[in-house]
Amino acid sequence: MKVLANDGISKSGIAALEKGGYEVITTKVAQEQVANYINEKGIEVVLVRSATKIRKDIIDACPGLKIIGRGGVGMDNIDVEYARSKGIHVINTPASSSESVAELVFAHLFSGVRFLHDANRNMPLEGDSNFDGLKKAYANGTELRGKTLGIIGFGRIGQAVAKMALGLGMRVIAADSFIDKASIRVEFYNGQFIDVEILTEPLHDVLKHSDFITLHVPSQEKYIIDAEELALMKDGAGIVNCARGGVINEVALVEALDNEKIAFAGLDVFEKEPQPEIQILMHPKISLTPHIGAATLEAQDRIGTELAEQIIGLLGKK
């Protein structure tokens, strides 16, 4: 049985599938050629990440498909319910990348509070000619310890963020439409741990009381954070989005940054991927990454292995 991993798969995932008797193809097929390739090669399992879309047209054109797999959490690039209505299994790996995304959130937070994103732009240009000037410009950093982190969306990734925040000595508050409370276990290197129960709160309370906001929600039909929500936030707060593009109104965000309502933003995802707006890319108060939340070697190993285990569990060894 053939598996097309169109957006790539880790070596551990390939090894697990090949051990189960599957042939793994990692050829990158252009979006418009995916259906033809699946049919020509007799592909029964197609695996994607965020780049390839498996919509109704491909599902209809490929009657031999048995499994569509998404390496990661969100499945907004797959017509999930339609595929399942056609008897196709749709799988993903919701737990595999939580820690990786959470660490990126803190990369953006640390970058924002210590101006690393801007310093790394300006040091190569002015470090030898204006060292003292840059030193003065970046001298008013703040610490995360003791500050309040507001988490919007308190599922697996939101809880992984909470765990790291608690370990740093931050206060954590959270908003979620479906989760009332969660017990967060903070584990230490020597086997000790503490459990902290966090009760979720209304969104407007979280916005008003947080020093920093981080979003962990799926794609939405409308903005979660628009001008009205930004206005509720503390003056000088920071905001990070490593979830999905389109949950923050980027026009309103730029305005809030320009009028100093918001001190900084960290964005891993954008409204117009893969061509973010130039006003976002050039803004000195925005820390930027190109949608790499799950892109760690460890996460990709976990994702590949978990996908392989699910495929073998559904279809058996070949």
Q: Out of 70, 156, 283, 291, pick the active-site residue.
A: 291
Which has the closest alpha carbon to 272: 240, 245, 242?
245
DSSP per position, 123-162: HHHHTTTSHHHHHHHT-----STT-EEEEE--SHHHHHHH
How many of the other CB atoms lie within 10 Å of CB of 227? 14
Contact, 86 vs 62, CB < 8 A?
no
Whether 18 is catalytic = no
Q: Out of 201, 273, 277, 309, pick the active-site residue.
A: 273
Q: What is the CA radius of gyration of the chain?
A: 22
Q: Out of 117, 244, 283, 302, pick the active-site residue.
A: 244
Whether 216 is catalytic = no
Whether 291 is catalytic = yes
Name the burial class of residue 245, with classes exposed (0-12), middle (13-18) and buried (19+) by CB atoms within 10 angstroms of its CB: middle
The catalytic site residues sit at: 244, 273, 291
